[in-house]
Each structure stands twice: as structure tokens, then as C-alpha cells.
Structure 1
């Protein structure tokens, strides 16, 4: 018992002797990892489709970190980060029973995210280190900008499609992911170090809600030769009452959509839709500077 107590006291003394706090700031760029299908675009003639794969974790990031080393090797780190994501292609299309393009959406989206990362740090030697931890998203959104063409039977008479333009903001449920890093630090002074590190982030975000920031639906003009009376071009804007169009029926869109995991079919509620998962996984490289406070001395 006495021997065990002495070993515990010795371990604590070593920890106190080497215990130190540090803060750091970094910036870097991440490339998408394990990307999934984000969109399918069509060429100008709409006779060739191209798939696009990606991750919303791609883009520039910055981090502010604080850490504590218990001894020369082991430590713990808490980081707060911001991601300014790169554009991803989210184009899509639908076909009718005859296999013709009935609707085509040309769109792109990017993410803005604030995250928190808690990791364990291990120093292999004075220069190389590794980290492993968990990460979650504190806030942010995915912003999608799109233009949609909806074809109608009147296209056969030379009437243009119904045009929809808008900006949609998506918000996700709080996720939990995995992160790991391997880095090299270069000592400038006793307290300052430059570092470079390779970082892997594995995380997906499940869609929770979306809300239009901008939305405009424009119908084409239809001459009396086709429908018996001249119908001018009409425009519906976000926030307007539903537009009762004499040819195309009621035109409107819900301001906000809630995404759920189960939904009755057919779904008659346009404010609800099935949820999906957005990938945020990435491989990145970060560069930064660390300030280490003076080590505590054993008493």
C-alpha cells in the first residue's frame, strides 16, 4: 500500500514538473474525402448527364486552440474552428413517363460551419506529434443557389418553361464525428513554435430544416391562340399570397421545410420531406503558431 502511494505521488510530481498550457491559431485548406453524389448536371442540349461527387468539408478553415500537457508526451486539446466551404454542384433533373426531361435544376451549394474539437495529443519526440479526437458542429448552414426550368405541355407550342430562381439555406442536426492529425513543430523560441499538420476529419450532417432566403417563380406569357385568352407573364415572390394562375394553377412554395426520417406516402404536406445526409469528411493541411506558457516546476 505504501509503495503504491509513493508511486502515485511520484507520478503526480512528474506531471506537475512538466505540466504546461498552450494556445495556438491555425489556418488551412481541406479537400473532400469519401465524397458522395451531390448532383447530376445536363449539357446545353440536355442529352448528356454528368455526375458530380464531393464533400461540404472542402474549403478554407481556421482554428483557435487551447491545450494542456500532463507530461512531456500526453496532453489534451480543445479547438474551435470555422469552415468556409467550396462550391459543390447540386444540379438535378426529373423525367416524365415518356423519358423526356420534365424539370431541370442547375444549382450549387457551399457550407459555412462552426465546430468544436476535443482531442488527445501525443508527442512522439520534440518535433513530431499526433492527435485523435471527436468533433461536432456548433452552428452554420449550407447555402444553395439554384435556377429551375419546369417544362409543361405548352412547350410543344413554343411556350417557355416555368422559371424558378432562389437561395435555400439548409440546417443540420448536431453531428458527432472523428478526427485525427499528424504534425511537425519547429521551435522558434522557448515559448513559440511554428507547426504544420495533416488532418483527417470524418463527419456527416443529417439535414434538419431548410428555409428560403430568396425565391421567385416566373410563368411565361401564353397567347389567346393556345388557351383562348391572352395570359401575360406572371411572377410570384417569396412572401406573396399563392398565385392563382389561369393556366398553370396555384403557384407558391412553403417558406420552411422540416426534414423527418419517416413520411406517409403520398406526402400531401409540402412543408415536410424525408431527410438526407450531407458529407463533411475531408483531408486537410493546416499551418499555425503555438505559444506555450512557462512550465510549472515541481515543488
Structure 2
């Protein structure tokens, strides 16, 4: 009986010692850089009254038309992360990242001559969008065990954009409205501010020990969220190289995005009194996607 009790006590002590050995509460910090490719393409929203289309005219006739689709999920990201391990298997992280997307053409028209069709001029223009944003990324981490210096892990979490915008640059050769010069080289920059949103992320990675406290890590990450426009402001507007922003009305410079247009909206299409040019124009809200698959490489320092 005493022998059995001794063995039982020995086993309990051994388990306690193993548990203490495996217990691994610690803080760690990570710095890394990522490159993402887009994983889902959707049709871009209307840009400055122009549908998301790529059109080509020859001799005043439409010879080519295609929907412009894409995602702002392609681009570069840099970030810093602080993490805490509760034990050998479970931890949490909080990352702060800066993301800059690749330029994406959102609408364009190419024509060999400027002409009038359906009461509106057809001219050459191209609108290109680019997103830049800071986000917070809280995540739950599951460590899968260390072997030969490698420690694979998985994590899931959310993305919370805290600052950023969609910048749309448009260059056009447009009719001037007078006989000479016949055209104007117009350049404009619009910045779209988003409504608050939350996205999803999941990653599979591994770290590799380089020293007692420092490791290299690599992660493959999928993320997906949608940005809903809140307002738009024209920050640059030039004609033939000359600043012409002061000549634009408030309705031309500022836009409020709404879910519905009615007779009370400041929009000529629905308001019987027409557009009040002294106030921001109301337009239907639009969405753009940021869906991407990325590879992150960096260094990890454990306390």
C-alpha cells in the first residue's frame, strides 16, 4: 500500500514538474513585412458619374466595352505585433499595420476623337484608385509544438481599420466648351473616407529559432473585408496645368454617401428643386473589397 501511494505521489509530482516545464507564459514582439495578391474580384463602383467600364471608340462608334473588376487586396503591408503566451499552446496577439494597395484602374474611356453621344461628351479619361490604411489586428494564436527549432502555429482574428482612405486620381482630355482651345487636360484627385468596418483574417505560420530570444517567422495569411464609403472630397483639380480647384462649387468638391436618394436629397436626379451647388452633393454609397492572400516575413523577439 505504501509502495502504491509512493508511486502515485511520484506520478503526481512528475506531472506537476512536466506541467511547470510546459508552462510558458511570456511576452513577445514581432516586426514584419508582407506582400498580398488579390483573391476575389468584384465590379468597381461608379467613379465621378462614370460606370466601372473600359470603353474604346473609333470614328465615333463604340467598338469595345468591358466591365472593370478587381479588388484592392493586392499590395504591401508593414506591421508590428505584441503577443502574449498563456502556455505552450495558446496565446493572443495585437498587431498594428500600415497597408498600401497597388493602383487599380476603376474606369476608363479611349477615343480617337471627342464627340457628343446621347447629349454628353465622349472623351479620353482614366480613373485609378489606391487605398492606404492603418489597422488593428487582434488575434487568437494556437501553437502546434516546437521541433528542431521550428514552431508552427495558426491564428484567427479580426481587422479593424482605424485610419485611411481611397484615393482616386483621374486624368482626362476633355472638351473645354469654347472654340479655342478645343480641349482641356484635366487632372483631379478625390479622397473617399470610409465608414467604420470590421474584417476577418486567418493565418498559418512558423517561427525558427535563431538564438535564445530571437526567431525568424513566416506566415501565409488570408484576409477579407469591405470598405463602405462615407464621404468624398476633391483635393486637387487642375486644367491645362493650372490650379482650378477654387472655381469648383461645393457640390463638385464634396460628396456625402447615403443609402437612399429621394426628393430631399441634394441630387438633381431625385430632387425636384434641382441641385444646390452651395452644399455637398448626395450620392448612393458604394463599396470596395480588400480581399487578399499574403506572405509575411519578419523577426520575433521573446522576453
TM-score of the superposition, structure 1-length normalised?
0.75
Using the TM superposition, give the Cα deviation of residue 62 of structure 1 relative to its aligned residue in structure 2, in angstroms.
0.5
Matches within 5 A, 1:41-190: 41-43=54-56, 45=58, 47-92=63-108, 102=122, 105-126=125-146, 127-148=151-172, 160=182, 164-190=186-212
Give the structure 2 partner of residue 292 of structure 1. Answer: 302
Q: Cα 1:64–1:97, aligned 2, differ >3 Å: closer, same or farther?
A: same
The partner residue of 1:32 within 31, 35, 38 is 38
Preserved contact between residue 102 and residue 152 of structure 1 (Cα < 8 Å): no
Give 5+ residue unaligned stretches, structure 2.
Answer: 1-15, 45-51, 110-114, 263-268
Measure, in 2, the Cα distance between the counterparts of 1:42 and 1:185: 49
Preserved contact between residue 41 and residue 106 of structure 1 (Cα < 8 Å): no
Using the TM superposition, give the Cα deviation of residue 134 of structure 1 relative to its aligned residue in structure 2, in angstroms.
0.8
Measure, in 2, the Cα distance between the counterparts of 1:105 and 1:260: 26
- Alignment RMSD, CA only? 3.1
**Which structure would you say has the larger RCO, counting Cα contacts within 8 Å and 6 or more residues apart?**
1
Give the structure 1 partner of residue 290 of structure 2. Answer: 280
Task: Provide Cα deviations, 1:80-105, integer angstroms capped at 9, x if missing partner.
Answer: 00011110001146x98759974654
Using the TM superposition, give the Cα deviation of residue 208 of structure 1 relative to its aligned residue in structure 2, in angstroms.
0.6
Task: Tell me the secondary structure at the aligned position of residue 293 of structure 2.
Answer: strand
Measure, in 2, the Cα distance between the counterparts of 1:139 and 1:35: 24
Using the TM superposition, give the Cα deviation of residue 160 of structure 1 relative to its aligned residue in structure 2, in angstroms.
3.9
Measure, in 1, the Cα distance between the counterparts of 2:155 and 2:257: 35
Give the structure 1 partner of residue 255 of structure 2. Answer: 257
Measure, in 2, the Cα distance between the counterparts of 1:98 and 1:47: 17
Using the TM superposition, give the Cα deviation of residue 57 of structure 1 relative to its aligned residue in structure 2, in angstroms.
2.5
Measure, in 2, the Cα distance between the counterparts of 1:128 and 1:16: 16
Residue 215 (1) aligns with residue 237 (2): yes
Give the structure 2 partner of residue 232 of structure 1. Answer: none
Task: Tell me the secondary structure at the aligned position of residue 161 of structure 2.
Answer: strand
Q: Cα 1:15–1:109, aligned 2, differ >3 Å: closer, same or farther?
A: farther
Measure, in 2, the Cα distance between the counterparts of 1:148 and 1:253: 20
Using the TM superposition, give the Cα deviation of residue 44 of structure 1 relative to its aligned residue in structure 2, in angstroms.
6.7
Preserved contact between residue 14 and residue 71 of structure 1 (Cα < 8 Å): no
Preserved contact between residue 143 and residue 167 of structure 1 (Cα < 8 Å): yes
Measure, in 1, the Cα distance between the counterparts of 2:251 and 2:294: 39
Task: Provide Cα deviations, 1:20-60, integer angstroms capped at 9, x if missing partner.
Answer: 11000000101112121234223473632233322223111
Using the TM superposition, give the Cα deviation of residue 165 of structure 1 relative to its aligned residue in structure 2, in angstroms.
2.2
